[in-house]
Amino acid sequence: MHDHHGRRENAYPGYDVLSKRSGPSWNEPTRRAITRRLAVDNAPHFFSEAEFDTVAAIAARIVPQPPGRSPIPVAALVDHELDRDSSDGYRIAGMPRQREAWRLGLGALDAESEAAYRGPFRTLAEGLQNHLLLRMQRGELNAPEWGSMRPKDFFVKRMARDIVLAYYSHPAAWSEIGWGGPASPRGYVRLGFDERDPWEAAEAHGGDDQQVRRINRHVR
């Protein structure tokens, strides 16, 4: 089954990566890291309230979330990294430092939104938000608020990258894609095509959901 965003729903039925939390698949440093990640509160610390809501609106367009589970707090995870000033250690020519790039980019996006639709980005209908983001990705935006930062670079090298990394840093996303988390201490042994270690999730293939669900409930 696929949802309306083109992703198959429940490809790993019965699988919850957090069932590994106290098992032999994760070591203590992994448990501590995941506990800290799950403790990130869904509130701004680096962003303003308006910026935080804008990041949440952008994330909803870039990584739409499946129904049936609590949403991953993508904006909060991005905010947390910026609040810590955790950077890549490099940046392309013309791109400001990470924090400055985000503030500049969000301000410029709102300026584009106000000019085109007389409202900030976070208040627009989803279709209009998609249209603005697509124009940013194509490098078609040109408001003076962008300064020397190219909109396409901000989309590809900063905004979309940070949002996707935030989403897939969360255990709920790991369960969605059947990933078991860091390969420590067990590692992954069966590396051939379509081979699965007993501590990895099984993927459903047309009609075998119940069998796969039974397997995945015992994955540790």
Mean residue pLDDT across the chain = 90
Q: What is the pLDDT of residues 93-106, one digit of tens each?
A: 888 999 999 999 99
Q: What is the pLDDT of residues 15-40, one digit of tens each?
A: 999 998 988 889 999 999 999 999 99
Is 50 exceeded by the pLDDT of residue 5? no
**Predicted model pTM:** 0.88
Is 70 exceeded by the pLDDT of residue 9? no
The domain spans of the chain are: 17-177
| CA–CA gap between residue 20 and residue 172 (Å, rounded) | 13
Report the pLDDT averaged over residues 143-171: 97
